[in-house]
Amino acid sequence: MAVFGGGARVLRELARLLAAEAAITVVAPEVCPTVEALATSGRIRWEPREWRETDLDEVWFAFALLPDPAANAAIAEAAERRRVFCSACWPEASAPPAERPAAGVALVGAGPGDPDLITVRGRRLLAAADVVVIDRLAPLELLAELGDQVEIVDAAKIPYGRAAAQQYLNEVLVDRARAGKFVVRLKGGDPYVFGRGFEEVAACARAGLRVTVVPGVSSALAVPALAGVPVTHRRMTHELTIVSGHLAPSHPDSLVDWAALARLRGTLVVLMGVTHIAETADVLMRGGKDPATPALVVQEGATPSQRTLRSTLASLAADCAERRIVPPAVFVIGEVAGLSETEGVAVAVGADG
């Protein structure tokens, strides 16, 4: 498949194509952050340039979704000459849902990766949306179910890469809702667990807007479970601590008391910690944590690309480097991370039952 265009509007089509397991090449000089993230992860191929007719070679279906109608028409003409199926225009807007909610904003947690892990209420509100503001950690497949009349806004936040400014996102939510739209802010995991969900709700409340909050399944709990490890076990731990690792322990803005965490006997779950995992492991060991403490890393949990790495606190950073662990990843440090699947349960990602 060839997709010409890289703006937020292509996300709906990409979601449908990915669900069909199509091989996708996106051709566009610039793309939105979510498309860039898909290319970086290898789920699609991106050609960062203007389109040319040879892009249609060995392609049986093309989507012309560039912002310039004349360019889309030219792609359609080239496709017709080569007898390639081409969708080069936006379908007519379908009627809004019969039970459409009143104008306002819904903050919806989409869960950790598998589109089936969104709550029933979250899915119902998503189906009624006029506008969906989505980030890259929310399951893109959920967009495939939306009508073509729904506006998609990409708010993807790629770690240590470009990101839509929070102020801009707040303004988008307020602007669309004030225009009489029902807006769904779709966030990965739970929107209040190390996300900026509350900031977005506060901005909407200051603007006098009605806000609905729908909690989501947090990756801090679900991802270890899907890797076969419980974050608590009644014979091993009576405490669970969830920490943001987006700042290095030595960073002056860090609010984490790492020395205190090192003394705890329970389970430590670190989110957003890939970049600083070497310093994190070091400060925990210097604080007294046993270097032999079991550690678990789950990359891209609750997705078909899920990878699991078992290690120890002392070897964690080196093993992550060797295995080329990249975000998003969840770290579990503690005795429960040493449980084997025969002691716990083998879990198949996306399996029924």
343 pLDDT above the threshold of 60: no
- Residue 108 dihedral angles phi and psi, to the nearest 5°: -120, 125
CATH 3.40.1010.10 in the chain is located at 104-217
CATH 3.40.50.720 in the chain is located at 2-87
Q: Which residues make beta-bridge pairs with 109? A: 187
132-176 pLDDT, tens per residue? 999 888 999 999 989 889 999 998 766 666 666 788 899 999 999
Q: Which is catalytic among the residues 130, 272, 282, 289?
A: 272
- Burial class of residue 98 in the structure, from the number of CB atoms within 10 Å of its CB (0-12 exposed, 13-18 middle, 19+ buried): exposed
Cβ neighbours, 10 Å, residue 153: 21
Give the residue-averaged pLDDT of 246-250: 96
Q: Active site includes 236?
A: no
Q: Which is catalytic among the residues 130, 157, 187, 282?
A: 157
Instruction: Give the Cα separation of 283 and 176 in Å (integer).
Output: 46
Which pair of tokens denotes residue 179? 């225009």
CATH number for the domain whose boundaries are 2-87: 3.40.50.720
Which of 3.20.20.140, 2.60.120.10, 1.10.490.10, 3.30.950.10 is the CATH number of 220-338? Answer: 3.30.950.10
What are the DSSP calls for 256-303, one per residue?
--HHHHHH--SEEEEES-STTHHHHHHHHHHTT--TT-EEEEEESTTS
Ramachandran quadrant class, 337 (left: phi over 0; alpha: psi -120 to 50; beta: rest): alpha
Give the residue-averaged pLDDT of 37-59: 93
85-113 pLDDT, tens per residue? 998 854 644 445 545 688 899 999 999 99
What are the DSSP calls for 156-198, one per residue?
-B-TTS-B--HHHHHHHHHHHHHTT-EEEEEESB-TTSSSSHH
Start-to-end C-alpha separation, the chain:
34
Q: Which CATH superfamily is domain 104-217 in?
A: Tetrapyrrole methylase, N-terminal domain (3.40.1010.10)
Q: Which is catalytic among the residues 55, 114, 135, 282?
A: 135
